Structure 1
Amino acid sequence: MNKKKPVTPFGWAIKRRLTELQIDQKTFCEQHGIPPYRLSNLIHGTRKATRFRHQVADVLDIPEELR
Structure 2
Amino acid sequence: MNQRKPVTPFGWEIKQKLIEKRMDQKTFCTTYQIPASRLSNLIHETRKATRYRKQVSELLGIEE
| Pairs aligned (count) | 64
Instruction: Note the alpha carbon deviations across 1:3-62, whole angstroms, 9 max, x for none.
Output: 100000100000000000000000000000000000000000000100000000000001
1:20 and 2:20 aligned? yes
Secondary structure, counterpart of 1:19 in structure 2: helix
1:41 and 2:41 aligned? yes
Uncovered stretches (5+) of structure 2, i.e. residues with no partner:
none
TM-score, normalised to structure 2, is 0.97
CA distance in structure 2 between the partners assigned to 1:13 and 1:47 by the alignment: 17
Q: CA deviation at 1:2?
A: 1.0
TM-score, normalised to structure 1, is 0.93
Residues 40-59 of structure 1 aligned to structure 2 (within 5 Å): 40-59=40-59
Q: Which structure would you say has the larger RCO, counting Cα contacts within 8 Å and 6 or more residues apart?
A: 1
1:62 and 2:62 aligned? yes
